[in-house]
Amino acid sequence: MAEFNRNFTDELRERLSVVDVVGRVVPLTKKGQNWWGCCPFHNEKTPSFSVNEDKGFYHCFGCGEHGDIISFTMKHNHMDFKAAIAELANIAGIKMPDYKPRDPKIVQREDSLFEICEKAAQTYTEKLFTPDGEQALLYARKRGFSDEDIKKYRIGYAPKNNIIANKFANSKFLIDSGLCRRGDYGMYDFFRDKLMFPIFNARGKIVAFSGRSLDGSEPKYINTTDTEIFHKRKTVFGLNFARDAIHRANRSIVVEGQIDAIKMQLGGFPETVAPLGTALTEDHIAILCKSNRNITFCFDGDNAGQKAASRACGIVMPFLRDNSDVKFAFVSGGKDPDEILKTGGADAMKKIIDDAMPLVDFLWELANKNFVVSTPGGRVQAEKFLKKETDKITDPDLKSEINKEYEKRKFESWRRWKRDRVDIKIKLPDIDNVTQNTLVYIVNTYPEIVERYGEFLSTLNIDFDGAAADLDLSLGDAEKYIVSLKLQRYLDKLNIQKKELTAQLLAGDESVRDELNQINEDLAKAREKMEKLISL
């Protein structure tokens, strides 16, 4: 097994949750930190088969079977190693490579790259505490990093000269590490005059760096380009520090930047991570879901943050399960999580996280923001948008429930003349077919009338989405029709009230006499208005 491509098997383990793989054939129930079910490898009635999603293994306390997604697939499906890998690759949706023994030269090159990155980190950290790194150290401390924090995250400084190119001049893998490039006058450092943050892989090895500008120049951050040991789209910043905290908190928090992630971890939210830059990918989500499917995205409240949240929403949809809890929190006022922690402390940040919007609500809000749902065409566009997003959900039961929720919301919220319907205590005559068809024509032809008389139209309990013949009514005639109908309904209402009050008066209830007189006055005024309207 050791002869096969270790990078690919590691990728499978990162992309696929052991709970998902085992759960395809074994019903699992979460109890405490683990998932439990009846062992598929021996007969039992009481579940003793435990699956640990965070560590990626299963163990049966009855028969002793133990392993990961590969060994489970091999044993359960009676497959050899290569067939099991092919099966898992198909589930993960990634191409199966041609397996062959690993080239010792490739192994040597990867080990050399790890070594260069480790020694570069040591060099950068040393430089931070020299006169060359004085401004960088001042900036780090201004951002609230103590010497203990700097040591934990191995923060350093890349000076303006070519310190790495000179120090590792004899290494034939230096350019492959991404730390140096070759120019017209020889090799030069890729990172210069930067506050340096090492990037760790899931096993805690330094594989790359992120440099933060100190002079206000853009971009604020530059990262090592992809190398043999570092792939930006598959690396979650801070995960090596956050993994255990994610398990304890039963969620991960995703912020936009590296410093925000570190400050959140130090400020009471150790389950926080970040993508490298704003380019959140499916691989990032797959890695996070392997640790925990509860994710709170915390982005800035500006346009860029809203766009990042919208993109994250689309990416996370295929990973939703019935036990997922995905939310969206926004930091407003032009601030970021670091600033919130500085000015308001952990309590202020906790309130933002606790008030995060559930994914179902966030997606609904996107549909209402991005489309004019007060018009038939806008509603069609919004419905297509919602369907496109929910179609990404792979769990059919969850998809069905979310679609039902949206159907309910569309019915209640997207018919403006049905929204906030006024309760009518008096039963009025039903609308006849001719009147209904006329109203449907008016509503669909003159939206400005709907704006003006929407509250009245909402009381008629009519389905305005139906088709109606072209009646060739002008705007003026259409409005006159609505007003006359409104007056007639008002007269009907007054007449019903008069009849009821008269009956009470005849029964000896003198208390209603003043109210009856007022009704008679209102009727006279209403009839006068109706006569004037007819004469126009």
Instruction: Tell me the C-alpha distance between 358 and 309, whole Å.
Output: 12
Instruction: Tell me the C-alpha distance between 117 and 444, whole Å.
Output: 66
Q: pLDDT at position 2, please? A: 39
Query: What integer best gives the mean pLDDT of the chain?
Result: 85
Please give the backbone phi and psi of residue 213, each rounded to the nearest 5 degrees, phi first: -65, 150
Instruction: Tell me the C-alpha distance between 285 and 281, whole Å.
Output: 7
CB crowding 27-37: b at 16 or more within 10 Å, else e: ebeeeeebbbb
Strand partners, 156: 196
Strand partners, 36: 29, 50
| Residue range 328-383, pLDDT digits in tens | 999 987 678 888 998 889 999 999 999 999 999 999 999 999 998 888 888 899 99
Q: pLDDT at position 398, please? A: 92
More confident residue, 443 or 298: 298
Q: Over 90: is that where the pLDDT of 316 sits?
A: yes
Instruction: Tell me the C-alpha distance between 384 and 78, whole Å.
Output: 44
Retrieve residue 393's tokens: 């959900």
Retrieve residue 271's tokens: 């389950």
Average pLDDT, stretch 194-200? 95
Instruction: Tell me the C-alpha distance between 371 and 389, whole Å.
Output: 15
Query: Which of 13, 34, 38 lies closest to 26, judged by CA?
Result: 38
Long-range contact set of residues 497-501: C-beta below 8 Å, sequence gap at least 24:
497/426, 498/523
pLDDT-derived band of residue 426, with 50, 70 and 90 as boundaries? very low
347 burial class (0-12, 13-18, 19+ CB within 10 angstroms)? exposed
Q: pLDDT at position 16, please? A: 84
Instruction: Tell me the C-alpha distance between 476 and 199, whole Å.
Output: 69
Query: Which of 342, 358, 341 lies closest to 350, judged by CA?
Result: 341
In 78-158, which residue ranges form alpha helices assigned H by DSSP?
Answer: 81-92, 104-128, 134-142, 147-153
pLDDT-derived band of residue 157, with 50, 70 and 90 as boundaries? very high
Q: pLDDT at position 480, please? A: 84
Strand partners, 60: 49
| pTM of the predicted model over 0.75 | no
Instruction: Tell me the C-alpha distance between 218 and 408, whole Å.
Output: 47
Q: Over 90: is that where the pLDDT of 273 sits?
A: yes
Strands 180-183 and 156-158 turn out to be: unpaired
Instruction: Tell me the C-alpha distance between 120 and 174, whole Å.
Output: 11
Query: What 3-state DSSP class applies to 174?
Result: coil
Instruction: Tell me the C-alpha distance between 72 and 50, whole Å.
Output: 13
| Residue range 431-490, pLDDT digits in tens | 677 777 788 777 777 777 776 777 777 777 676 666 666 777 788 888 888 888 888 888
Q: pLDDT at position 298, please? A: 94
Q: Over 90: is that where the pLDDT of 524 sits?
A: no
Element of type H or E holding 197: strand 194-200
Instruction: Tell me the C-alpha distance between 405 and 71, whole Å.
Output: 40
Query: What 3-state DSSP class applies to 182?
Result: strand
Domain 234-367, CATH among 3.40.1360.10, 3.40.50.150, 3.40.50.10470, 2.40.50.140:
3.40.1360.10
pLDDT-derived band of residue 58, with 50, 70 and 90 as boundaries? very high
Query: What 3-state DSSP class applies to 100?
Result: coil
Q: pLDDT over 90 for what percent of the chain?
A: 38
- Domain definitions of the chain by residue range: 6-92, 104-230, 234-367, 433-535
Adjacency order of strands within the sheet including 221-223? 156-158, 194-200, 206-213, 221-223
| Residue range 112-153, pLDDT digits in tens | 999 999 999 999 999 999 999 999 999 999 988 999 999 999
Architecture of domain 104-230: Alpha-Beta Complex (3.90)
Q: pLDDT at position 186, please? A: 86
Residues contacting 31, CB < 8 A, separation 6+: none
**What does each C-alpha distance from 395 to 26, 30, 217 come to in angstroms?**
16, 18, 46
pLDDT-derived band of residue 31, with 50, 70 and 90 as boundaries? confident
| Weakest-pLDDT range from 98-107, 230-239, 300-309 | 98-107
Q: pLDDT at position 278, please? A: 56
Instruction: Tell me the C-alpha distance between 243 and 292, whole Å.
Output: 10
Q: Over 50: is that where the pLDDT of 418 sits?
A: no
Rg, C-alpha atoms of the chain: 33
Strand partners, 300: 331
Average pLDDT, stretch 151-180? 92
Query: What 3-state DSSP class applies to 501?
Result: helix
Q: Looking at domain 6-92, what is its CATH homologous superfamily?
A: Zinc finger, CHC2-typedomain (3.90.580.10)
Residues contacting 175, CB < 8 A, separation 6+: 181, 182, 187
| Residue range 82-110, pLDDT digits in tens | 888 888 888 877 777 665 666 778 788 88
Q: pLDDT at position 14, please? A: 77
Query: What 3-state DSSP class applies to 194?
Result: strand
Q: pLDDT at position 420, please? A: 42
Q: pLDDT at position 183, please? A: 87
| Residue range 276-285, pLDDT digits in tens | 865 788 989 9
Q: Treating both helix axes as pointing N-terminal to C-terminal, what angle do 475-506 and 513-535 enclose, rounded to 10 degrees?
A: 160
Is the distance from CB of 459 to CB of 495 less than 8 angstroms?
no
Q: pLDDT at position 90, please? A: 81
451 CB neighbour count, 10 Å cutoff:
10
Q: pLDDT at position 465, please? A: 63
With tokens 């409104």, the residue in question is 486
Half-sphere exposure of 166 (CA within 13 A, CB side): 7
Which amino acid is it at 280?
Answer: L
Retrieve residue 402's tokens: 């979310």
Query: Which of 103, 73, 77, 68 lies closest to 85, judged by CA?
Result: 73
Query: Which of 354, 144, 335 lies closest to 269, judged by CA?
Result: 354
What is the end-to-end Cα distance of the chain in Å, rounded? Answer: 92
Q: Over 60: is that where the pLDDT of 207 sits?
A: yes
